[in-house]
């Protein structure tokens, strides 16, 4: 999700928190578990458990007003999720992106 979400504290406290119990989704997952017999962690090949998930955008229906801004990814998004020195999505590539953006301005 490459979105930025902005919420007021009043909205979160007065609207979201009182309704948080209704926002969970059941997701069937492969959940690693410990096997005492082999003293190892087992990585299952099939779903063996469930997780209760909730997503940041699940609060959209609770809002009285909201705005969506659509922007060009190549002008607004420089993720940092890899280590420095990586070929993509690193602090290095984000610095280059920001520098290139500043040159355009």
Say what the pLDDT of residue 56 is. Answer: 85
pLDDT band at 1; cut points 50, 70, 90: low
Taking 90 as the threshold, does the pLDDT of residue 77 lie above it? no
Q: How does strand 40-42 pair with strand 25-29?
A: unpaired
pLDDT tens-digit readout, 11-65: 999 999 999 888 899 999 999 999 999 999 999 999 999 999 998 889 999 999 9
Distances (CA, A) of 80 to 13, 47, 75, 95: 30, 31, 15, 10
Say what the pLDDT of residue 42 is. Answer: 95
Report yes or no: 75 and 97 within 8 Å, Cβ to Cβ.
no
- Which residues on adjacent β-strands are paired with residue 49? 29
């Amino acid at each position: 999700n490459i979105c930025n979400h902005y919420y007021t504290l009043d909205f979160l406290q007065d609207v979201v928190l009182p309704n948080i119990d209704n926002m969970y989704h059941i997701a069937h997952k492969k959940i690693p578990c410990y096997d005492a017999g082999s003293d190892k962690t087992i990585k299952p090949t099939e779903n063996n458990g469930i997780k209760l998930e909730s997503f940041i955008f699940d609060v959209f229906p609770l809002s009285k007003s909201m705005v969506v801004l659509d922007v060009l990814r190549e002008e607004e998004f420089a993720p940092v999720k890899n280590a420095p020195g990586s070929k993509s999505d690193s602090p290095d590539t984000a610095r280059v992106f920001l520098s290139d953006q500043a040159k355009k301005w």
